Structure 1
Amino acid sequence: MNSEPSSITLQSPDGASATIALHGGHLLSWLPAGGVEQLYLSPRSEYTPGKVIRGGVPVCFPQFAESGPLPRHGFARKLPWELVSQQQGKDDALAVLRLRDSDATRAIWPHAFELELSVRVGGRSIDIELACENLGDTPLQFTTALHTYLRVADLDAVSVEGLAGLRYFDAVKQADALQRMDLLLTGEKGVLDLDRIYYGVKERPLLVTEDRRQVVVRAQGFDDAVIWNPGPERCAQLADMPPDGWSEMLCVEAACIGRPIELQPGESWVGRQSLELA
């Protein structure tokens, strides 16, 4: 593993903390007050320019996966971000990072933009807010996700409530389907190999339960949600994941994929994902 990138640590007065890498504007760690690490970070992550960090919360922008002509998940997670501000309040701590267009980004995505990532941590919750402003003189369009890797101890004991009744696209089967009940991860082959985009989730909360631990995932501004786990076979093909890494994580991601966001010149968009240890 390469040495870790430049990062900042937020510490709230109650002991909650978060660590954010400037490389990719990437949330690496979330420790609720009195709790343990809630995010999965691969021990094989690469922290070198042009590479992506595996785990934590990567920022997918301006393209989710292979939904367009850009590199997979866009370029924001591969670029250095700038620290705008960092402060500690009475009950929380906050950091704001920024990414602006450059010659390199305009070469593959010809738009002037500014991204701001705000991370606020305190108590048993963390808020991750992503904002985009169109600084150019033509409309721009993008898809995006906060690719959140939740750490789990026993994937077979995990369920996700709040998805019942939603339609989703199964990228493994390349088919649309309907979620008829809560999502239970039973360890059966084909169930663990999960790659699903759930449409129209909007602001309904998702409850990720593992035995007595519950994480409530709420979103604002994001229409969709992605549930992802590579399973053992796909995980073995990922150079930056240990072979058993799949059993220690589940991605639950706030996303805008089905209906791309379009901004006219001067317009802004804001999306937020909040995680709370119940």
Structure 2
Amino acid sequence: MSIPIAIARHQGMEALELCAPDGARATVLLHGGHVLSWVPTGADEQLYVSPKTAMASGQAIRGGVPVIFPQFAARGPLQRHGFARTKPWQLVMAEQGEGDALAVLRLSDDAATRMFWPHAFELELSVRVAGRDLEIELACENKGEEMFSFSAALHSYLGLGALGDASVQGLAGLSYWDSVDGVERSQRTDLLLPGSPGAQDLDRIYYQVKQDLTLQELTAAGERRVSIQQQGFEDAVVWNPGAAKCAALADMPADGYQHFLCIEAAQVERPVQLAPGESWVGRQSLSLA
């Protein structure tokens, strides 16, 4: 039997506190459809949220899992990363089931979005938590009468004790766009060490990602492994600002870069094109080993 989950307040904002019967938890804000927290069964917080970020209407939150739509970064005429992450979403449903907890939120075009992006659309975000897994699904439907294209991403900030203890597996053989140097490169080794000298300032868009990725971190208690799967999204973004750029961010502490690595399911290289009435679905699944 399912138990409805009511809207609560989290740091002054409307939120859904998802709690599965096995104790797995996630916090989802209606602001931006933003996943703010993920605590697997028997584990600690897995996401990073900057202690200096603003929790205010109309402002982007630094950390968690922001929803990027309909533009990635500054690759277009809109505000950076689009408008979905700063808009209020509507609750469709939220409930605790027999083995999980699920929330579904919706964002549709309005007069404000049509001023900047003149298209009729409907986004639906589904967030499911159970055991050691977090699943986030983003769906888009063209509700208008003409084709449109968009980019999208789930901008996941995965928390770390120390960047230098982390590595990412599964990238070998992929081509990527190095946004720091503005050139295309090829990943020669399977292991990416984001905290190694010269690699802390990372901003890479890996193309045509078809296999699972793994974030590995060496901790005092042993080894932590987070498996990252994606479907529908063709690209993956790996981002960390490094010391200098992090110090220049007003919504981050100077050492904040040491405590997260973004591994994002993304659709950047080839924007999605939707004809009237068509839909697209992308998903990122995180699993703590």
TM-score range, shorter chain: over 0.9
1:117-128 to structure 2, matched below 5 A, reads 117-128=125-136
The equivalent of 1:277 in structure 2 is 288
The equivalent of 1:247 in structure 2 is 258
Cα distance in 1 for partners of 2:11, 2:154 equals 24
Q: Give how far 1:106 is off.
A: 0.4
The equivalent of 1:198 in structure 2 is 206
The equivalent of 1:87 in structure 2 is 95
The equivalent of 2:240 in structure 1 is 229
The equivalent of 2:214 in structure 1 is 207
| Identical columns (%) | 59
Q: Give how far 1:67 is off.
A: 1.0
Q: Is the 8 A contact 2:194 2:202 kept in 1?
A: no
Q: What secondary structure, in the 3-state scheme, does the structure 2 residue paired with 1:80 have?
A: coil
- CA offsets, 1:231-273, max 9 Å, x none? 0100011101111110000000000000000000000000000
Match for 1:46: what amino acid? A
Q: Give how far 1:6 is off.
A: 1.2
Match for 1:267: what amino acid? E
Cα distance in 2 for partners of 1:37, 1:61 equals 26
State whether structure 2 residue 192 is matched by structure 1 residue 183: yes
Aligned length: 275
Cα distance in 2 for partners of 1:87, 1:186 equals 39
Q: Give how far 1:3 is off.
A: 4.5
Cα distance in 2 for partners of 1:183, 1:38 equals 20
The equivalent of 2:54 in structure 1 is 46
Cα distance in 2 for partners of 1:187, 1:238 equals 22
1:149-168 to structure 2, matched below 5 A, reads 149-168=157-176
Runs of 4+ with deviation above 2 angstroms: none
Q: Give how far 1:186 is off.
A: 3.7
Cα distance in 1 for partners of 2:96, 2:57 equals 30
Match for 1:259: what amino acid? R
Cα distance in 1 for partners of 2:268, 2:194 equals 24
* Structure 1 segments unaligned to the other structure (5+ residues): none
Cα distance in 2 for partners of 1:69, 1:185 equals 31
The equivalent of 1:60 in structure 2 is 68
The equivalent of 1:261 in structure 2 is 272
Q: Give how far 1:109 is off.
A: 0.3
Q: Give how far 1:185 is off.
A: 2.5
Cα distance in 1 for partners of 2:200, 2:137 equals 29
Q: 1:142 aligned to 135, 138, 150, which one?
A: 150
- CA offsets, 1:127-184, max 9 Å, x none? 0000000000000100010000000001111110000100000010111100001101
Q: What secondary structure, in the 3-state scheme, does the structure 2 residue paired with 1:172 have?
A: coil
Q: Is the 8 A contact 2:157 2:261 kept in 1?
A: yes
Cα distance in 1 for partners of 2:155, 2:193 equals 20
| TM-score of the superposed pair, with normalisation by structure 2 | 0.94
| TM-score of the superposed pair, with normalisation by structure 1 | 0.97
Q: What secondary structure, in the 3-state scheme, does the structure 2 residue paired with 1:185 have?
A: coil
